[in-house]
Amino acid sequence: MSSDAVVLSALLAAALDGDRQALARLISAAERGATLPPLTPPTDRAEHQLCIGFTGAPGAGKSTLVSALTGHLIAEAGAAAVLAVDPSSPFSRGALLGDRVRMHEHAMDPRVFIRSMATRSETGGLARATQVARRILQACGWGLVLLETVGVGQVELDVVYTADLVVVVLNPGWGDEIQANKAGLMEIADIFVINKADREGLESTRRDIDAVIINRPEHQRPAVVETVASEGKGVKELAKAISLARESLCASGELHRRRQRQFATELEQELLRRFKVSMTQLRQEESYGELVEALASGADTLDGAASRLQKIVLGKIALR
């Protein structure tokens, strides 16, 4: 074993033993792309081994809702982990991660583990890092994972490939967004939450959602739950809806299919990542320049140059 692998195994052993610091460090290593020892995956039957994704526009109240729901769920599940993802700045790659402020009531609860994550890289990167973090958590006894992601751009769609079940958080007065089916959000929902139900426009938003989901077969029609997260209202109902949705996904085999797909996605993404790393290395090398030159001078076709490049890259990946 390499020395890195030794360190990671030791961390995993400690994390499995309940050491939070080791768990936290393991997640950091995963975020940086470290290769982890095998992890025990969740089982479909276990009710409290579930990754619930929450997505919606900034300010919709996701963090507040996740916090309130966590308070509710730990009573039964015994423990819950929260992964709160916010975007990195595309310019500096830095990030301001503020979700913990909303989850303050759990700050000192040993049954709750909260981790803030930045999206860091472009599409796909988030899914990989959160997926690994989720796997680490679940393997280390944190079966219930609540994953908050910001519903902006491509990122929120990745959540489908990470979470077992998706809750889309909307607010009253968002009719236009719903009708425009913003970024496909409406299609990925297993449950809709209309949070800030204390605000005006609740009825029309409900109607807009109904109009969108009416076309789906009844057994696949998402539940719509109204909440006032800041006052804890509707949270019990949401927990109930989640439980029902999980049961139905499990019974239909869809939960199993989704988890298979999660692994497949993870696998493909890992391969793509390796490919990218090799490409980055390759760009520095002479042979790459020669290939480009051959293409530019007309000595080789795109197809021919690409085939040769493919061979070199695959060779590099194999060498790792």
Partner 1 sequence: MQTPPEDRKWTSASGIPLKSFYLPDDVPEGHRRVLGAAPGEPPFHRGAYATGYRTKPWRIFQLSGFGKPEDENERIKFLLEQGETGFLMEHDRNTADHLYNVDHPEVLARREDVGLTGAVMQSVRDIDICLRDLPIDSTYGHAGGAVVQHAPYALAGYWTVARRRGYDLSRLPGTGQSDYFLTYLGCVTKQQVPTDAGLRLNADIIEFCDQYLPRWVPVSIAGYNGADSGLNAPQELGALFANAVEYLEEIKRRGTMPLAKAARGCGGVSFRMSMDVFEEASKLRAARLMWTQLLAERYDITDPKVSNLRIHCVTAGSRMQYQQPFNNIVRGTLMGLAAALGGVQSLGVSGYDEALSIPSEHAHQMSVRIQQILQEETNIASVTDPLGGSYYIETLTAQLIERAWAFFDEIQAQGGFLACLDSGWLHQQAAENQHQEFMAQADGSQRIIGVTDHTDDVSPFEVDGFMGVDDAFDVALERLEAVRRERHEKGAADAMRALEQACRGDANIMGPMMDALEAEVTLGEIGDIYRQVWGDWSTPIQT
Partner 2 sequence: MSEPTTNATTGATTSATGKRVLMAKTGLDGHWRGPTIVATALRDAGFEVIMIGMARAEEVVQAAIDEDVDLVGLNVGGHVDVAVRAVEQIQSSCDGVPIFAGGVVPPHAKRKLEALGVEVYPPGSQLPEIVEAARRLTGII
CA-based nearest residue to 192, from 221, 230, 228, 164? 221
Q: Which is nearer to ligand GDP, 63 or 262 (CB)?
A: 63
The piece of 52-60, 179-187, 238-246, 276-284 that touches ligand GDP (CB under 6 A) is: 52-60
Please report whether residue 153 would count as binding partner 1 according to CB under 8 A: no
Q: How many CB atoms lie within 10 A of CB 58?
A: 10
**Residue 80, helix vs strand vs coil:** strand
> Using CA atoms, how far apart are residues 261 and 164, in angstroms rounded to an integer?
10
Residue type for position 224 = V
DSSP letter (8 states) at residue 184: G
Please report whether residue 195 would count as binding ligand GDP according to CB under 6 A: yes
Please report whether residue 67 would count as binding Mg ion according to CB under 5 A: no
> Using CA atoms, how far apart are residues 51 and 118, in angstroms rounded to an integer?
18
Strand partners, 52: 146, 165
Q: How many CB atoms lie within 10 A of CB 118?
A: 18
**Phi, psi dihedral angles at 228 (to 5 degrees):** -120, 90
In this chain, which of 49, 230, 243, 269 binds partner 1, going by CB under 8 A? 230
Please report whether residue 60 would count as binding ligand GDP according to CB under 6 A: yes
Q: Show the site string, 3-42: x = touches partner 1 by CB under 8 A, - = not.
A: ----------------------------------------
Positions in 11-30 near Mg ion (CB under 5 A):
none
Query: Which distant-in-sequence residues (6+ apart) come within 8 Å of 110 by Cβ?
Result: none
The piece of 3-11, 213-221, 226-234, 285-293 that touches partner 1 (CB under 8 A) is: 226-234
Q: Show the site string, 90-129: x = touches Mg ion by CB under 5 A, - = not.
A: ---------x------------------------------
Residues that bind partner 1 (CB under 8 A): 58-59, 64, 86-87, 95-98, 101-102, 230-232
